[in-house]
Amino acid sequence: MAELLAAELTRVARLLDAQSPGDIDLVDAGAGGGDLLAGVLAMSEPTLVSRTQATAIDFRAAPEGYLARHLDRPVADGTARWAGGRTEHGPLIARWRRGDARVECPPTRGLIVAHELLDDVPCDVAVLRHEGWRYLAVDLAGDEVVDGPVEPSDARWLQRWAGDARLADRVEIGRPRDEIAVALASHLTCGRLIIIDYATSADQRRRLHPDGTLTGYRNGHQCRPRPDGTMNLTAHVAIDSVVEALSSVGHVRLGTVADAADRHLAESHGSSAGPDGGHGLSVLPFAERMRWARVRDLGSWGGFAWLSLDRWDTGGT
């Protein structure tokens, strides 16, 4: 994923430079351990890295050892110099901001990335009963009970995105995810927002996920979801709702990680390695072919949604 995002950073920088050369912002919203941001910078051209202002944002503090692994020395205001980004062209300035990305995201002239952020955003679950949509309440053991009627704002979301639901269908209400996506886009002064995540459409939610997608993960293993703080709780993103919410903010394109990989392979290895069912990958070494095959596999990483929103002072692609 880092290689694809490094290529995106290069594209965005090229488009910005066509308008007015200068520093480039790179923001990782929901940075986790910071490894994706580090990987993007490691794979980018040194001349681009030297003028990139990188920011990692997460509710968690920088993981123990993070500064030692990735950064040279911290500065009192939270700014730090990234050892891996130092080149003859100058140092890279990186920041770690702890808190809500909606608040902590700086004004960005460049690229904002939200990789597996929205699926972790808490959302209410509703179930359709004879009397209408009702919230599901849950205790710390994971046991559920049907609660009161949904609020008007959630009722409107459900009517728009689950209007054809059947009795007893469960739906995760995506309105909070939409709001965070729009908030991130509001910080983009010029450039591109990329959202990469598990996702569903309204048709998929009805046909494939009538019981919803909420689940838990503990130590990398899927488990029964319980809000007791011992696991990561996640639910697929209603990506069609996110697209509509963002459409008033900028130009939105929706595809998959596989689509992004095909574009990158075509650009970096020539048209023979482009979207041809995988045969063009034969030009690559075996280990690299296997890696890209997984990235292009729609049943694996390739099936993740890849949403991009552009905001440019003048036309950009």
Token output for 197: 């995540």
Q: Mean pLDDT score of the chain, rounded to an integer?
A: 84
Residue showing tokens 């063009």: 280
Rounded-to-integer distance, Cα 79 and Cα 58, Å: 15
Where are the chain's structural domains?
Answer: 2-121+174-198+236-311, 125-172
Mean pLDDT, residues 111-122: 95
Tokens of 288: 């690299």
At 64, is the pLDDT very low, low, confident or very high (cuts 50, 70, 90)? low
Distance CA 303, CA 306 (A): 9
Please spell the DSSP secondary structure of 191-231, one letter per residue: EEEEEEE-EE-HHHHHHT-TT---EEEETTEEE---SSSSS
This prediction's pTM: 0.86
Question: According to the model, what pLDDT value does residue 109 have?
Answer: 93
pLDDT digits (tens, 9 = 90+) for 255-284: 999 898 888 887 776 654 444 444 456 667
Question: Which residue reads 């003859």 in tokens?
Answer: 88
What span, in angstroms and rounded, lies between the C-alpha atoms of 160 and 233? 25
Residue of higher predicted confidence among 10 and 253? 253
d(CA 125, CA 135): 6
Residue type for 170, please?
Answer: R
* Cβ–Cβ < 8 Å for 265, 289: no
Closest-CA residue to 238 (of 268, 212, 256, 264): 212
Q: Return the pLDDT at 270.
A: 64
Angle subtended at Cα 57 by Cα 98 and Cα 100, rounded to the nearest 5 degrees: 65
Predicted confidence band at 93 (pLDDT cuts at 50, 70, 90)? Answer: low
Q: What is the CATH number of domain 2-121+174-198+236-311?
A: 3.40.50.150
End-to-end Cα spacing for the chain:
21
Cα angle: 206, vertex 209, 215; to 5 degrees = 150
Alpha helices in 187-304 (DSSP H): 202-207, 239-246, 257-269, 286-295
